[in-house]
Amino acid sequence: MNDLLVRAARGERTERPPVWLMRQAGRHLPEYREIREEYDFLEAVTTPEIAAEITLQPYERYRTDGVVMFSDILTVLEPLGFAYHIESGTGPVVDAPISGPDDVPQTYDDVGSSLAYVGDLLDRLDARVGDETGIIGFAGGPFTLASYAVAGRATRNHYPLRQFTARHPEAFADLLSIVADAVREFLQYQVAHGADVVQLFDTYAGVLPPADYQELILPLHRKILADLEVPTIVFVRNMGGRLDQLTATGADVIGLDWTVEMGTAREQLGDRPVQGNLDPSVLFADPETVRERTREVIEQAGPRGHVLNLGHGLHRDTPIEGVEAFVETAKSIER
């Protein structure tokens, strides 16, 4: 029985920090690249048997204290009425993005039926490793999902969505609100299927001015994260200067990107559980450097309420030895 992840997420003092890595299942693993020769990304995501196998690949190699279900934040766009596909070189592309207020969805399909493959995946993970490691579910946040729904693809600085916000403030609020409702139901559905911890990835919401985040996004984050029966993690990039806004979301664990010093975050956050935050690029250094830099993060976070992770997703060409050094460092701590 390994419940380190849940215990640390609840703020307990742990004998060592639990460790997992954002985007641990994916292209840095040769066994993943091999499966992807047979299944394209969305096929793998929507086939629970394959998604379970991919989810467990990094667990088999590294024995992390959590496995993050292999899926994508964009899946929830489907019940909201947005079909999308992945184009190599571009990434996800929404087939018919929102071009004006009339395109904002008024309703959405039942999340548990549209995304039944996610429930099936979580059931399989629970049956296979439920006692051995933490099962991590997740959903995208309203700003990040709305950015795709409006721009249709990845954009620099999210100008299409921010321009839409300025032109159509009411439609923007309606869009965020309906996306948030679907996301909230989706996370509850994941908990019902055995997720031990859930993470809300509103990665891009940090591009908004603080007052706009406070007024437009924060209430939705609060609503999404309220009433979940498992520990929650919030992750928004570029919030280092305003961790108070992240704590106001009500998330149990504050996800930190690498642009904030862990020691500074700990001073500001007191005993609040934190997750992070080694710069993912450090894993390209020699293993001794990885160990040193990882130990610094662990020491600065302290023994209570720390989930060791990177400050954002693993790069696709990260060396295996870098990941091994990172995970082993967490496992070598005794306190």
Query: Which residues carry out catalysis?
Result: 23, 27, 36, 72, 148
Paired tokens of 144: 């990040």
Q: Which residue has the tokens 């997420």?
A: 9
Nearer to ligand CP3 by C-beta: 24 or 329?
Answer: 24
Confirm if 175 and 167 have CB atoms less than 8 A apart. Answer: no
Nearer to ligand CP3 by C-beta: 27 or 304?
Answer: 27
Confirm if 255 and 234 have CB atoms less than 8 A apart. Answer: yes
Distance CA 51, CA 71 (A): 7
Beta-carbon contacts of 211 under 8 Å, excluding residues fewer than 6 positions away, are none
Any known ligand binding at 148? yes
Distance CA 301, CA 309 (A): 12
In the complex, least distance from residue 330 CB atom to ligand CP3, rounded to whole angstroms: 17
Any known ligand binding at 62? no
246: three-class secondary structure by DSSP: helix
Any known ligand binding at 289? no
Angle at 259 between CA 274 and CA 12, to 5 degrees: 10
Nearer to ligand CP3 by C-beta: 102 or 317?
Answer: 317
In the complex, least distance from residue 118 CB atom to ligand CP3, rounded to whole angstroms: 11
In the complex, least distance from residue 242 CB atom to ligand CP3, rounded to whole angstroms: 19
Any known ligand binding at 96? no
In the complex, least distance from residue 141 CB atom to ligand CP3, rounded to whole angstroms: 9
In the complex, least distance from residue 203 CB atom to ligand CP3, rounded to whole angstroms: 4
User: What is the 3 state secondary structure string of 22-86?
Assistant: CCCCCCCCHHHHHHHHHCCHHHHHHCHHHHHHHHHHHHHHHCCCEEECCCCHHHHHCCCCCCEEE
Any known ligand binding at 25? yes
Any known ligand binding at 312? yes
Nearer to ligand CP3 by C-beta: 128 or 153?
Answer: 153
Distance CA 179, CA 239 (A): 22
- Number of neighbours of residue 199 by Cβ within 10 angstroms: 24
Q: Write out the residues near ligand CP3 by the rule CB under 6 A.
A: 22-23, 25-27, 36, 41, 68, 71-74, 91-92, 138, 144, 154, 201, 203, 313
In the complex, least distance from residue 299 CB atom to ligand CP3, rounded to whole angstroms: 25
Nearer to ligand CP3 by C-beta: 118 or 178?
Answer: 118
Which ranges constitute the DSSP H helices of the chain?
A: 4-9, 30-38, 41-46, 48-62, 111-114, 116-129, 142-151, 159-167, 169-192, 210-212, 218-225, 243-247, 262-269, 287-301, 320-331
Q: Which residue has the tokens 């209430």?
A: 219
Nearer to ligand CP3 by C-beta: 66 or 105?
Answer: 66
Confirm if 261 and 297 have CB atoms less than 8 A apart. Answer: no
Beta-carbon contacts of 223 under 8 Å, excluding residues fewer than 6 positions away, are 180, 184
Mark the binding-site residues for substrate, compressed into ranges: 23-27, 72, 148, 203, 312
